[in-house]
Amino acid sequence: MALSYGIMLMIAGLAGCAVNHVGAATPQNASHPGTPAIIAPGVSRPRDIKIDSVPPCELFTPGNRQEFKNDRPFREEKHRFFKYPVCDFHSRAEKVTVAIDMVVDRDMSAFAPGKVAGHARLVQVLGFPAYEGYSDAKPGNLGCSVDIGVVQGQVLSIQVLEQGRYENPLTQEEVCRRAMRGAELALGNLLARG
């Protein structure tokens, strides 16, 4: 539960990764004609997906957990302050956690540049608008979040956080790459649910 609190502080204080690298993330600058839900001028989502009844732990398959080397038990919990469902996937070997939060009480605009303490940029995840963001931190404790606007007022939030990985720490670019990969997997599994 303490990790979820730290993750929420990161979400509330940052929102996405502003790094000029991240694989499948593409800047939102083209319009998508014929799609619903305009997010900002020229930005839309392919469809709306409500997440208020989706268990976050179900958005990572055993294969996904293996890809991230998750080796600790996981379970759904309620966020300590905001009371929405969260699921943390820990890797003791990697000293990295992947967290999936079902943010059902705010819109993705809450994670926009200028609204968060840290770096944020607008990206796409499987055609959905998202903010990728991070706050400046010391190596070994870096984090990055990808906050996907799945429907007006709801955000699928994926964070990757180093947990004291002082020996062989990851770069900020790698932490954000992993967050983007986690976002692609979680959103892909959500879309596959129908």
What confidence tens digit (pLDDT) does each residue in 120-154 have?
999 999 999 999 999 999 999 999 999 999 999 99
C-alpha–C-alpha distance, residues 132 and 29, integer Å = 15
Q: Mean pLDDT, to the nearest integer, of 107-114?
A: 94
At residue 40, the pLDDT reads 61
Give the residue among 158, 193, 173, 146 at the shortest CA–CA distance from 68.
158
Task: Reply yes or no on whether the pLDDT at 25 is more than 60.
Answer: no
Q: pLDDT exceeding 70 applies to what percent of the chain?
A: 78
83: confidence class by pLDDT, cuts 50, 70, 90: confident
pTM, entire model: 0.81
Domains in the chain, number: 1
- Domain of residue 78 covers 2-192
**Cβ-count burial 64-90 (b if 16+ within 10 Å, e if not):** bbeebebeeebeeeebeebebbbbbbb
Nearest CA to 133 among 101, 110, 167, 164? Answer: 110
